[in-house]
Structure 1
Amino acid sequence: MKKKNYAGQSSGKFMKLFKKILLYTVLLFGVLATLFPFFYMIVLATRGRSEIFSYPPPLWFGDSLAENYNSLMASLPFYKNILNSLIVSTSATVLTLFFCALGGYGFAKYEFKGKNKLFFLMLSTMMIPMLLGVIPWYIMMTEFGWLNSFKPLIIPGAANAFGIFLMTQFMEDIPDELMEAARIDGAGEFEMFYKIVLPLSLPGLGTLAILTFLGSWNNYMQALLVLESEAKYTIPVALSMLRGKVDQNWGAQMVGTAMGIAPIIGVFMLASKQFIAGITEGSIKG
């Protein structure tokens, strides 16, 4: 009996080890499959036009990075375009966090007539495809005189249904007793929002910040419609215009793409802890 138990324990340990090795192997392949396109993009950024389409394809760095970079800089005011994207994305993120947090605070912590109907109406707008609103949106921006400016890319989406819904879900879990205690101590409504609700909603704010920043940074269609001058182009529009300007110099386009995604990676690394905490909290709540 002891031999059988020992054999069973050994078999169980072997199966656990095998499952762990299999899991890490699958995860390793997943990581490599995710990172390889970024690695290959950087490789192509260092290669000349003839080398990019050679066979077998290049899998290591070349010596044409400076040439491709100079071609990119001669074609567009690319640093200005990066600054434009930073201004638009940062402004849109800050405004979205503020207004969506206020909206979520109102729906989560206050009772008023028609609250549930208004919340349902707000959520129903998320079911409407964005393309259906492009023409009315463009007409409104024209009437406002906002063409060739950053306002259409920042202001209209500052209080969006998804952001308000997300913040409502997080703020509903904040104990009402904390707010009642603050009221007894003489705190005002906005003071409670700023000093109590916002600090306890950091995971939700971090999640919304990353999603908003990425969405604004990658916003191509709306930016293409309203931005008319090269000096106003954001990164997606600048990269789309780059194709004809550099005469199919894919190396220069890869340099521009690599420079364009670097700020996104930086923002994600800065807010990754809050993002993961927000996703984890939301999955547990669900």
Structure 2
Amino acid sequence: MTPAVPPGARRRARSLLLTSGLAITLAVVAIPFYWLAVGATHSSEEIFSSPPPLLPGGHLADNLKSLEESAQFSRVLLNSLLISTVYTVCAGAVCTLAGYGFAVYRFRGREALFGLLMLGLVVPAQVTLVPLFQMMADLSWLGTYQAVVLPNLALPFGIFLMRQSMASLPPSLLDSGRMDGCGELRLFLRVALPPMRPSLAALAIFLFLYQWNDFIWPLIVLRDGASFTLPVALASLQGLDETDYGAILAGTSIAALPMAAVFLALQRHFVSGLLAGAVKE
């Protein structure tokens, strides 16, 4: 007869199995970031040596100097920070207002209009490149920052996220605000927005990362190297004959820092924001 396993032993075994799985997953995720940071401190020759270096080297200053000379990196970094911040604020306002309108107001054709908007989630972005480029050319906006920011303000996923979140607002709460004399704008700002902070944080993370990592559209509309964003500037460092991989890895490491900072600052709201509106009482 097989002896019974104590419940405490089963719990410890499950805990050990879960911890081991998480440790392996963390290692798989962290190793590329570690290699990125290590590679940023080595020259191209050392990076491709055999075996590859596993400890930091002494070429970080040289790589940063090469990065600044080749791509005006400090200017490009400021460009990306400015464009991503302005886009996050403006697109966040547009998506929040649109989501509020679709969730709260009842008007003819609302569902059809929302369904048409959601088609934007399944249409490849490459399909819109030619008409958007022609539109920017007609407006004489090629080479300007507004050509990067304005075309994607009404992002379908952002509107969907805020619409689902706003749908969880109790109608009685809005009716109470109207009975107290709130106008529609004040009702939106003072009554509807405060409970939406987790969703707004999730939206801000998504929008910032979306713009920060965008490559194709800035590559098409920006003409001057001094106005490039980080992804475009880093891609321009790849030459036909010679590529300074140490400088590219150094730039990529620095480019990852703002994304990590934004996510860490808002991470406690991220999951709750994405789940907002998923369950209705």
Q: Does structure 2 conserve the Cα–Cα contact (< 8 Å) formed by 1:203 and 1:278?
A: yes
Residues 180-239 of structure 1: CA deviation (Å, up to 9, x unaligned): 111111111010101111111112111111111111011100000011111100000000
Structure 2 equivalent of residue 125 of structure 1: 120
Residue of 250, 254, 266 corresponding to 1:255: 250
Contact 2:94-2:154 within 8 A present in 1 as well: yes
Please say if residues 104 and 171 of structure 1, whose CA atoms lie closer than 8 Å, have aligned partners that are also in contact. yes
Q: Confirm or deny: 8 A CA contact 2:118 2:156 kept in the other structure.
A: yes
Question: Which residue does the alignment assign to 1:85?
Answer: 80
**Residue type of the alignment partner of 1:153:** V
User: How do residues 151-170 of structure 1 correspond to structure 2 at under 5 angstroms?
Assistant: 151-170=146-165
Separation of aligned partners in 1, 2:151 and 2:268: 29
CA distance in 1, matches of 2:47, 2:159: 46
Aligned length: 279
CA contact (8 A) 2:76 2:233 kept: yes
> 1:214 aligns to what?
209
1:132-281 superposed matches below 5 A: 132-244=127-239, 247-281=242-276
TM-score for both structures, normalised by structure 2: 0.94
1:36-81 CA-partner distances (Å, limit 9, x unpaired): 1111111111112221111111111111111111111111211110
Deviation at 1:247, TM superposition (A): 3.5
Aligned to 1:8: 4
**TM-score normalised by length of structure 1:** 0.93
1:21-170 equivalent positions in 2, closer than 5 A: 21-170=16-165
Letter in 2 for 1:8: A
Report the more deviating stretch, 109-118 or 219-228.
109-118
- Check the 8 A contact 1:68/1:252 in 2, yes or no: yes
1:129 deviates by: 1.3
Gaps of at least 5 residues in structure 1 are none
Q: More helix by proportion, 1 or 2?
A: 1
Q: State the alpha-carbon separation in 2 of the partners of residues 220 and 155 from structure 1.
A: 15
RMSD (CA atoms): 1.7
Which blocks of at least 5 consecutive residues in structure 2 are unaligned? Answer: none
Aligned-pair identity in percent equals: 37
Q: Check the 8 A contact 1:46/1:63 in 2, yes or no.
A: yes
What is the Cα deviation at residue 276 of structure 1? 2.0
In structure 2, relative to structure 1, the CA distance for the partners of 1:122 and 1:208 (3 Å cut) is same
Whole-angstrom CA distance in 2 between matches of 1:9 and 1:183: 62
Contact 2:164 2:276 survives alignment (8 Å): no
Cα distance, 1:160 vs. partner? 2.1
Shift of 1:275: 0.9
CA distance in 1, matches of 2:160, 2:208: 17
Which aligned segments of 4 or more residues in structure 1 are displaced greater than 4 angstroms?
282-285
Alpha-carbon separation, structure 2, partners of 1:41 and 1:234: 20
Quick one: which amino acid aligns to residue 33 of structure 1?
A: V
Distance 2:184 2:228 in 1: 41
